[in-house]
């Protein structure tokens, strides 16, 4: 197979499918792929035969690296003399896309700090990058860095070109120095210099005028040829960059105090609720006015922003009202019963206390006695007759119960004894 042959549509091990081509590097071609078994997007690097040994050595040197900002390698497949590296899919752009337009100092320092922290982890595990170019650093839409291509041979053309851009008499001591931890530090300085420099007419590239002096000094501490003033440790560089980034952030926040707090809150809500599409996030980022040292915002205008929902204020009650305590409502007093007027004369109805009292009469109708228009003896007779009827009802209840019990026992005995006598089974 030829080295520049395309593999679009190729299926490897009945599991990995190569789709469209993403990038053509110096040593390999990167494809967007699919993992059929796990149903997830992947990135596949097709390495031609002349570079297979270099990639295998790189894999052996970095097989123990497991860090969030290092692109993970899932699998390797050999096919027809080619080596295919199955890697984690990262939805991001290479840092090289931002070198032309430049980047604010605060943002560049933040990205460099993330790279330095990643290198500190790799150096602690005895792994060196050796080829830290702008194409090996990926930046997603949240400005999070992912580093790729560890332990590969250095791109000599890239480093020679960058050194020539800085100055005609500036160069690395030896390109072999890049395969050391100190070489990784100088590579970070070169990336910072490219992000913060601009080209003047007929003049070499120089750091922009808006770059603070502290950032200018740190860049030269990374790339300087004098080892006495140069930073050679990734942990030291990461700490210095993080401290410098914090100082720049504090200075920028003071400048934004002129913006009303309400307007800043509305802008924050719009940014959070914006409908970012895949196409919009893949577009190159415009970093705004690079002449303003405090202009650090990424300018991305969504095509169809979602409406902002402003929450309605909750009603507030006066402090004097207790919303927990429940005060019972006053109940109107019931009217007092009115008794009929007492009849004239000395009419008094007295019920005998024996053998029955009016409280013992159950179910007796309440009859309102009319005003006496007959002799008193007549009423005494009616009262005595009602008591007699009630006594008869009360005395007949036990007799009825005894009769019912006797009938039940009789029918029970007949049902128990008749079948054997009649020969029923």
**Residue-wise DSSP of 237-248:** HHHHHHHHHHHH
Closest to 83 (Cα-Cα) out of 110, 103, 53, 112: 53
Cα–Cα distances (Å) from 26 to 4, 30, 154, in that order, read 11, 11, 11
Contact 158, 145 (CB under 8 A): no
Q: What is the pLDDT of residues 181-209, one digit of tens each?
A: 999 999 999 999 999 998 766 677 889 99
Q: What is the pLDDT of residue 410?
A: 86
Tell me if domain 10-89 and domain 92-254+282-301 are identical in fold.
no
Q: Report the DSSP beta bridge partners of residue 42.
A: 33, 88
The CATH homologous superfamily for domain 92-254+282-301 is: Transferase(Phosphotransferase) domain 1 (1.10.510.10)
Residue numbers of the chain with a pLDDT score lower than 50 = 1, 254-256, 275, 277-291, 293-302, 320-327, 347, 349, 351, 353, 361
Largest CA distance in the chain: 148
Helix (H) or strand (E) holding 264: helix 261-273
The residue ranges of every structural domain in the chain are 10-89, 92-254+282-301
Buried b or exposed e, range 42-52, using 16+ CB within 10 angstroms: bbbbbbbeebb
The CATH homologous superfamily for domain 10-89 is: Phosphorylase Kinase; domain 1 (3.30.200.20)
Burial of 171 (0-12, 13-18, 19+ CB in 10 A): middle
Q: Residue 132: what are its φ and ψ, rounded to 5°?
A: -80, 80
pTM of the predicted model as reported, rounded to 2 decimal places = 0.59
How far apart are the C-alpha atoms of 303 and 274, rounded to whole Å?
9
Contact 101, 95 (CB under 8 A): no
Q: What is the pLDDT of residue 421?
A: 75
Buried b or exposed e, range 106-116, using 16+ CB within 10 angstroms: bbbbbbbbbbb
Cα–Cα distances (Å) from 77 to 71, 154, 253, 343, in that order, read 18, 24, 50, 120
């Amino acid at each position: 197979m030829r080295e520049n042959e395309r593999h679009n549509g190729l299926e490897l091990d009945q599991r990995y499918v190569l789709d469209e081509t993403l990038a053509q590097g110096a040593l390999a071609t990167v494809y967007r792929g699919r993992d059929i078994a796990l149903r997830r997007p992947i990135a596949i690097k097709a390495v031609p035969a002349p570079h297979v040994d270099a990639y295998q050595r790189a894999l052996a040197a970095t097989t123990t690296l497991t860090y969030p900002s290092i692109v993970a390698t899932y699998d390797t497949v050999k096919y027809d003399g080619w080596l295919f590296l199955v890697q984690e899919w990262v939805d991001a752009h290479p840092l090289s896309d931002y070198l032309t337009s430049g980047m604010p100092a605060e943002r560049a320092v933040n990205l460099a700090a993330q790279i330095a922290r990643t290198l500190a982890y790799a150096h602690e595990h005895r792994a060196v990058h050796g080829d830290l170019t702008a194409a090996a650093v990926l930046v997603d839409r949240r400005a999070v860095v992912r580093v790729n291509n560890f332990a590969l041979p250095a791109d000599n053309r890239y480093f020679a070109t960058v050194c020539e851009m800085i100055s005609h008499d500036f160069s690395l001591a030896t390109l072999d120095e890049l395969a050391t931890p100190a070489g990784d530090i100088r590579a970070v300085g070169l990336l910072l210099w490219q992000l913060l420099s601009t080209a003047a007419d007929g003049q070499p590239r120089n750091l922009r005028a808006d770059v603070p002096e502290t950032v200018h000094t740190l860049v030269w501490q990374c790339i300087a040829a004098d080892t006495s003033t140069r930073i050679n440790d990734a942990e030291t560089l990461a700490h210095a960059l993080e401290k410098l980034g914090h100082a720049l952030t504090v200075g920028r926040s003071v400048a934004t105090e002129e913006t009303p707090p309400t307007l800043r809150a509305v802008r924050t809500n719009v940014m959070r609720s914006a409908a970012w599409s895949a196409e919009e996030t893949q577009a190159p980022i415009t970093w705004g006015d690079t002449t303003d040292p405090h202009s650090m915002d990424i300018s991305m205008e969504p095509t169809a922003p979602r409406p902002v929902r402003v929450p309605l204020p909750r009603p507030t009650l006066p402090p004097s009202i207790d919303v927990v305590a429940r005060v019972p409502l006053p109940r109107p007093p019931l009217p007092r019963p009115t008794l009929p007027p007492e009849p004239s004369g000395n009419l008094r109805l007295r019920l005998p206390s024996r053998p029955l009292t009016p409280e013992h009469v159950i179910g007796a109708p309440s009859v309102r006695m009319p005003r006496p228009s007959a002799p008193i003896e007549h009423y005494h007779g009616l009262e005595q007759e009602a008591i007699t009827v009630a006594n008869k009802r009360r005395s007949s209840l036990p007799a009825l119960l005894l009769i019912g019990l006797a009938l039940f026992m009789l029918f029970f005995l007949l049902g128990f004894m008749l079948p054997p006598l009649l020969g029923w089974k």
